[in-house]
Chain A
Amino acid sequence: EIVLTQSPGTLSLPPGERATLSCRASQRVSASFLAWYQQRPGQAPRLLIYDASTRATDTPDRFSGSGSGTDFTLIISRLEPEDFAVYYCQQYDISPWTFGQGTKVEIK
């Protein structure tokens, strides 16, 4: 199975700053079949980005995804209070679909 490694494990930033989250795959993810999710405490995950760079419905444009092959990035251009959460990447190229272990974005 494809192993996804997210870094950093925790990102401490003040509101208004730019956040850069990384997701590295153990093998090439074809056609950029990669998604990003946000999970706030006590809530279900929410789809943010699919196909590596396409925003889901209702995803604010401060969220952007990029990358291909084995290296993918989620950028939050200016952190809003509601953005402090855990973020997961997921590949849907090779079964079984797998998730990264998550990056927690916390308020500094």
Chain B
Amino acid sequence: VQLVESGGDLVQPGGSLRLSCAVSGFTFSSYWMTWVRLAPGKGLELVANIDQYGGTKRYGDSLKGRFTVSRDNAEDSVYLQMDSLRAEDTAVYYCVRGGSWLDYWGQGTLVTVSP
């Protein structure tokens, strides 16, 4: 099982970024997928998760509609579109398999929001 995130970068406040996660080693279309973040000096925080079909999506309360999760089962990939970014969104973003307990994690991609 492998999950590889990409797309993390330095972005200015108010900007946008799209993270991608390519998976291999399991039947992607059979699993919920989740994004979790770890901000400096803080604990883990659920960002979003999405069911196997892309029909059910859930988000962390603090995101207030700024982030959108999606997936492409033909490409074995899950995505996170992040808009109206704020300094407090600075974090390592992890792509994770699962929609309840989270059993396989990528190594993470760093998003830095700063002028």
A-to-B contact residues, CB < 8 Å: 1, 33, 35, 37, 39, 44-47, 50-51, 56-57, 88, 90, 92, 95-102
Contact = CB atoms under 8 A, between A and B. Distances in A.
Given A44-B108, A96-B60, A102 B103 contact: no
B115 interface: no
Contact of A1 (B61, B94, B101): B61
A39 B99 CA distance: 19
Contacts of A98: 46
B44 A90 contact: yes
B61 A50 contact: no
Contacts of B94: 44-45
A44 B103 CA distance: 11
Chain A interface, DSSP helix/strand/loop, else mixed: loop
Contact of B44 (A45, A92, A96): A45
Contacts of A46: 105
Interface string B81-99: 0000000000000100001
A37 B98 CA distance: 14
A99 B105 contact: no
Nearest to B44: A99
Interchain residue pairs A-B with the least CB separation, the first 10: A50-B101, A44-B105, A92-B100, A35-B101, A99-B44, A101-B43, A102-B43, A97-B46, A47-B103, A95-B58
Contact of A90 (B49, B59, B60, B102): B102
B45 interface: yes
A50 B34 CA distance: 16
A95 B1 CA distance: 26
Contacts of A100: 43
